């Protein structure tokens, strides 16, 4: 008994010592901001593409703020986290960071001063970046304009505001193993795998998370998730769309923000396309499409044009405006733009709602967001804009319209408690203004 007690005591001491070692990270001495001329132009350009693929500007720019100066509010189930300033300002940004400090933050989630970073910053993906991409990204960021700006303090409850706890989180969930190439796959597929996992961190939004906020893997990888109040559809072949995604459709969507059989990118995805996947090499956008499309490949062929015509014939073509309040709302507010046929296209592209993924999702949130606030910042200006109906339609009317769209064009049972969902999303948006 005494021997067991001694062993247990020693084990506790060893674990406590190991925890102390894991938790503590020394500060890395500041350096003089590197001069832009220190970096070769081709290396800076490579870094620009890495930054675009990683959506750095999207997350590190507040609404109406300066590029990369931070301050964007990331609303998580655990509280609100504000993104940091990654411009080369030496006082409020990363201008005093050496490459070693930068790399540690990207691979290990530890800031220059030794502070553990919250995984809202996706170092769980960036840890897999190739060394040359990491160096190029550092070169690019250090050559950008410096902006002196201190983002707001995070709003996290106790004890989640205690950063040392993140050391334990990393022990459980931070996998720093290098991504292995699959010799049975094409070079383009392997490139897409690297881009999706390490650079673009697609799973950060498109995979579900556990109760501790870590991405789920295995069969849950790319099985759909949530980001800033929007539902991120599955990318693992369990398509929510009525027409399965193809490589070409994915390329069009990621490169141009629009796919004929799936509609336009909106919400956070519009930002990802505008500042990310449309700004990298076209071959890399294609590689992402190859990788994602591979999850849904069945070996068969599908005549998407024929399927789209069949869906239209059984949904839109059978619609009668006076059938219900929701149908009348659609006729008055939506049909002028979202009509069938080859008539005049208003406000850019004309997404066909009967092909919309939003109507097939398990939750109505994405559709409600679009009806309330429209499309004010499309992935590309040529796609056009959509007015929002926040101030024109009541919660009841939006619920009636959403119910009509869901049951008529998707042919699925109505969402439960739809009016309450409208009220929740309306209030949530207004509370963040």
Residue 284 DSSP class = H
pLDDT, residue 365, reads 95
Rounded distance between C-alpha atoms, residue 361 and residue 74, angstroms: 23
Q: Is the dihedral of CA 254, 137, 27, 33 positive or negative?
A: negative
DSSP per residue, 59-121: HTB-TT--TT-B--EEEETTEEEEPPP-SS-TTTSSTT--HHHHHHHHHH-B-TTSPBPPTTS
User: Higher-confidence residue: 376 or 399?
Assistant: 399
Mean pLDDT, the chain, as a whole number? 88
Residue 341: pLDDT band (50, 70, 90) is low
Q: Which of 118, 113, 108 is nearest to 160 (CA)?
A: 118
Summarize pLDDT for 179-215 with one digit per residue, the tens: 999 999 999 999 999 999 999 999 999 999 999 999 9
Summarize pLDDT for 63-73 with one digit per residue, the tens: 999 999 999 99
Q: Where do the domains of the chain lie, and which CATH numbers do they carry?
A: 30-173 (no CATH), 304-431 (1.10.760.10)
Residue 112 · residue 96 · CB < 8 Å = yes
Q: Which of 49, 418, 373, 359 is nearest to 228 (CA)?
A: 373
Q: What are phi and psi of 70, to 5 degrees?
A: 85, -175
Summarize pLDDT for 209-221 with one digit per residue, the tens: 999 999 999 999 9
CA angle, residues 390, 392, 396, in degrees to nearest 5: 80
Summarize pLDDT for 271-314 with one digit per residue, the tens: 999 999 999 999 999 999 999 999 986 555 568 888 888 888 88
pLDDT, residue 12, reads 43
């Amino acid at each position: 008994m005494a021997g067991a007690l001694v062993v247990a005591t020693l084990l506790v001491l060893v674990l406590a010592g190991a925890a102390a070692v894991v938790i503590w990270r020394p500060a890395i001495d500041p350096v003089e901001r590197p001069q832009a001329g220190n970096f070769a132009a081709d290396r800076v350009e490579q870094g620009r593409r890495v930054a675009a693929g990683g959506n750095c500007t999207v997350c590190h720019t507040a609404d109406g703020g300066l590029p990369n100066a931070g301050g964007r509010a990331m609303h998580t189930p655990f509280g609100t986290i504000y993104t940091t300033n990654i411009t080369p300002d030496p006082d409020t940004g990363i201008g005093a960071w050496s490459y070693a400090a930068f790399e540690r933050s990207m691979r290990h989630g530890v800031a220059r001063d030794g502070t553990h970073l919250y995984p809202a910053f996706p170092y769980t993906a960036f840890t897999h970046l190739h060394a040359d991409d990491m160096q190029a990204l550092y070169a690019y960021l250090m050559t950008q304009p410096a902006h002196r700006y201190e983002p707001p303090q995070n709003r996290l409850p106790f004890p989640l505001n205690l950063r040392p706890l993140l050391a334990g989180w990393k022990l459980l969930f931070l996998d720093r193993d290098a991504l292995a190439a699959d010799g049975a796959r094409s070079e383009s597929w392997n490139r897409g795998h690297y881009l999706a996992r390490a650079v673009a961190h697609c799973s950060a939004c498109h995979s579900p998370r556990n109760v501790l906020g870590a991405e789920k893997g295995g069969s849950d990888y790319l099985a759909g998730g949530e980001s800033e109040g929007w539902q991120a559809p599955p990318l693992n072949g369990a398509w929510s769309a009525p027409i399965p995604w193809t490589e070409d459709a994915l390329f069009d969507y990621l490169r141009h923000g629009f796919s004929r059989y799936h509609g336009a990118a909106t919400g956070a995805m519009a930002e990802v396309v505008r500042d990310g996947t449309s700004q990298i090499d076209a071959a890399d956008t294609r590689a992402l499409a190859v990788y994602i499309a591979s999850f849904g490949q069945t070996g068969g062929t599908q005549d998407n044009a024929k399927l789209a015509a069949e869906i239209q014939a059984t949904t839109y073509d059978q619609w009668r405006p006076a059938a219900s309040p929701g149908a009348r709302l659609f006729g008055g507010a939506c049909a002028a733009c979202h009509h069938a046929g080859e008539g005049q296209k208003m406000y850019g592209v004309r997404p066909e709602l009967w092909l919309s993924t939003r109507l097939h999702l398990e939750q109505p949130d994405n559709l409600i967001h679009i009806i309330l606030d429209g499309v004010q910042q499309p992935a590309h200006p040529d796609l056009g804009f959509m007015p929002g109906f926040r101030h024109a339609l009541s919660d009841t009317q939006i619920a009636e319209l959403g119910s009509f769209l869901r049951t008529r064009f998707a042919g699925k049972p109505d969402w439960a408690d739809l009016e309450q969902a409208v009220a929740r999303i309306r209030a949530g948006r207004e509370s963040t203004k």
